[in-house]
Amino acid sequence: MQVNLANFNEIHRPIYVLEEERLRHNLSLIKSVAERADMEIILAFKAYALWKTFPIFREYISSTTASSLSEAKLPMVGRKTAACVRSYAMDIPSVCVDTHVHRIANLMGLVHTKDPTETEFELMRITPKDRWNDINRYIVRHGQVVCLPNKHNCSKCSVRSMCDSCTIPY
């Protein structure tokens, strides 16, 4: 979008104005410093609204990350996907809550929540941060193999002694 800098009053919504030439100049300076120092620079985005500029940043800086879930948001990407990207791709502690995690965490009595977002925050509260990335992997697999939505295989469950819903003695 080209903006007439003399007449900003035509813009009726919040907007970021970015001069691409200056951005490219500053990024080339950062790239030059990284090359001369023989190091990799990882840029942490604080303004997720600038997501359309990511291809330009990628030309100059090979690694970027979002500094929080808010910055990881992109159009058509929800909390779970953003958390999974942070967890699996960036190894940043995040709790990815999908249907399986929400269902099983409530079924076992780990949480008593109404929706996945509430489950995410409750799991973050009760779980040490260094274990957040494990939650999705283990609970999803458990929900796909042992504790199926319509058939709970309690007799095959290795954590049934900790489950509020299990009716089989352990």
- Tell me the DSSP string of the chain: ----TT-GGG--S------HHHHHHHHHHHHHHHHHHT---EEEES-GGGGGGHHHHHHH-SEEEESSHHHH--TT--HHHHHHIIIIIT--------HHHHHHHHHHTS---SSHHHHHHHHHHHS-GGGHHHHHHHHHHHHHHTEETTEE-GGG-TTGGG-SS--S--
Residues 59/63/67/70 CA torsion (nearest 10 deg)? 50
Select which of 80, 129, 151, 156 is catalytic. 80
80 is catalytic: yes
Query: Which residues are the active-site residues?
Result: 80
